[in-house]
């Protein structure tokens, strides 16, 4: 019987945001731990979260824990080779009946390396079971830290890697009430200029390493011009000026700045 490959979500950085399910799996003595690193010289952010929770990985000398290399590149061939090597490292353990835990910061189904590992393993050995343990994503923890909702009532939300560029971000501003821009490091100055031009500087917040001891929250993003920020940084943008269209069936039409009318019992029945 093969083991199960678990994508264990650890939350954004604060070990107290780890779920009971994740904590219980990491306390099991019969599992193998693995975690992603970006290079041979880098440390694992996911492993650091587990360490802050007081958890100790199994002995690497006995083959019960190891780092898996997932390089930071957009080169498809290099990424494919890395995913294959990672799958080849865990597959013999799974086929020997060992459960393998892959530690992931944030949530394993949200912009995480686990999906690539799981897909490659399943392609090589369809019989292997895969389980994702959900966790708190960084943008949810950031909203909690900022004391503001991600969305209310019928707000629209887009979660987008900033690498798609400033032009796309500007187009999305017209369609969404809240934008979550992930991995903003390369384009931060350009994004600041965009929000300044659109009159939204006071509706943008920057969060770096949400939940970690080094967490940083900046509400005046103009102070970040020219600064190098951490890869684990995001912007939460709220656009109260967005023009909303007509809503359908059971929802009252709403114009900007007007409080929504109560939903009647008849409308609720129509839903």
| CB atoms closer than 10 angstroms to residue 93 | 20
Please give the order of strands across the beta sheet that includes 233-238.
Answer: 157-161, 178-182, 233-238, 204-208, 216-218
Q: What is the pLDDT of residues 93-135, one digit of tens each?
A: 999 999 999 999 999 999 999 999 999 999 999 999 999 999 9
CATH number (3.30.950.10, 2.70.150.10, 3.30.70.150, 3.40.640.10) of 138-238 reads 3.30.950.10
pLDDT of 257 > 70? The answer is no
pTM for the model stands at 0.85
Domain segments of the chain as ranges: 4-133, 138-238
Q: What is the DSSP letter of 243?
A: P
Q: Name residue, tokens 């892959």.
A: 102
pLDDT of 266 > 90? The answer is no
Contact 72, 103 (CB under 8 A): no
pLDDT category at 268 given cuts 50, 70, 90 is very low
Top-level class of domain 4-133: alpha beta
pLDDT category at 78 given cuts 50, 70, 90 is confident
CATH topology agreement for domains 4-133 and 138-238: no
pLDDT category at 271 given cuts 50, 70, 90 is very low
Q: Which two tokens stand for residue 121?
A: 């393993």
Q: Which residues of 116-153 are buried (b: 16+ CB within 10 A; e: fewer)?
A: bbbebbeeeeeebebebbebbbbbbbbbebeeeebeee
Give, in order, the Cα–Cα distances in Å from 62 to each of 32, 33, 55, 69: 10, 12, 18, 19
Better pLDDT: 264 or 9:
9
């Amino acid at each position: 019987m093969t083991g199960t490959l678990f994508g264990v979500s650890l939350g954004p950085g604060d070990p107290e945001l780890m779920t009971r399910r994740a904590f219980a799996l990491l306390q099991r003595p019969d599992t193998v731990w693995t975690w992603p690193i970006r290079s041979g010289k880098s440390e694992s952010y996911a492993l650091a979260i587990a360490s802050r929770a007081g958890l100790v990985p199994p002995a690497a000398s006995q083959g019960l824990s190891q780092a898996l290399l997932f390089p930071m590149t957009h080169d498809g061939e290099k990424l494919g080779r890395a995913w294959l090597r990672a799958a080849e490292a865990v597959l013999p353990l799974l086929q020997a009946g060992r459960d393998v835990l892959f530690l992931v910061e944030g949530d394993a189904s949200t912009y995480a390396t686990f999906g690539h590992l799981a897909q490659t393993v399943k392609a090589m050995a369809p019989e292997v079971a895969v389980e994702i343990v959900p966790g708190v994503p960084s943008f949810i923890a950031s909203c909690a830290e900022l004391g503001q909702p991600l969305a209310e009532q019928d707000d629209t939300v887009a979660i987008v890697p900033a690498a798609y560029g400033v032009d796309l971000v500007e187009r999305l501003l017209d369609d969404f009430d809240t934008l979550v821009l992930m991995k903003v490091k390369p384009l931060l100055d350009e994004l600041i200029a965009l929000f300044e031009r659109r009159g939204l500087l006071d509706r943008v917040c920057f969060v770096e390493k949400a939940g970690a001891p080094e967490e940083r929250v900046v509400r005046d993003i103009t102070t970040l011009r020219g600064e190098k920020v951490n890869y684990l940084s995001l912007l939460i943008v709220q656009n109260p000026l967005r023009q909303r269209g007509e809503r359908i069936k059971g929802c009252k039409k709403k114009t900007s700045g007007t409080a929504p009318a109560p939903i009647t019992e008849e409308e609720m029945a129509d839903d």
